[in-house]
Structure 1
């Protein structure tokens, strides 16, 4: 639940959360009107009040150190010409980018298209910054039972997600707080094929490929 903040800078919309808070990393997210048109971009946040401790922990138990209950959104209508600057360049205005032909359009609706899904022939391994590593064996597995040997440099809450080759999440599970531990991964209910197993914690994630060969 939110409410508008009146009498703010004419270049921005002000929004206050009456329940809950906005988390760090929300900058750049959109504000939409009742017609589902983008009208603002989150740019600034402040503390209107100190959040309760429960708001600083995500549903997976990870720390969310930056929260705010007052957010300001830059108005697209104001940034169109950006009159706050005496002589804004094209790079400092939206109009040259969103209406390069000078059509004069003041709004545009999104488009919906019923596209056919693209065939997937393979999935590559993806690794991002992760505080540790893990091995998974046996790989391939004859029945879908795997063991994950997880090793992290420091104890933290972790999760495991499993995806099929289309990118669909087929399993998601909290592993709790751990550092070095062997964890059973039961994929016996799934058919033969290739799957991606992702381990993530507050520092990053790492993904590895497994094969079930029944």
Structure 2
């Protein structure tokens, strides 16, 4: 069996259509549940979570990369109750890290990354999310954050279902180091990964580094 030779192997021709529909229905229900849980957080709890997430993320970047100066770091503009790490973006910029934000330039296409600084005058992009303007430099990140609706210990993320992030990861070469950012309470036993799902490199919650894909990185930490 191919899975015995390569545990990550997944045959897309072997997907049961009914099973795929069941997974899609389950994911929709989990997204609603987890988004509601996230939005129900108090302001105090949210502020505390964001502070500890920033601390744990800085620790991981230092352990994995030592010096982030002049590296390209893609963050995200928070929506739907996602942890707000914009103060961390400003801190990294001040420390010499080049910061970018992802945006949709074309429907159903990979995301584009544009440079951001605290002085960037943002414009409204898809879903009214603030994004850097058209004239901002297009870049390819070395490290990218992926906000999570849900996550599992195999380093898979449950997103919003649009597929943009997975398409982007499949398209980028070389692929950046991808860090999932989410809540501890959003852990799932599995997201039932499908052929299009791409495994992240690490997942951080307010409790710290929860999972790192690849024993070599784990040993370094």
Q: Could you tell me the TM-score, scaled by structure 1's length?
A: 0.23
Considering Cα pairs closer than 8 Å and 6+ residues apart, tell me whether 1 or 2 has the greater RCO.
2
Structure showing greater radius of gyration is: 1
Q: Could you tell me the TM-score, scaled by structure 2's length?
A: 0.23
The structure richer in strand per residue is: 1
The structure richer in helix per residue is: 2
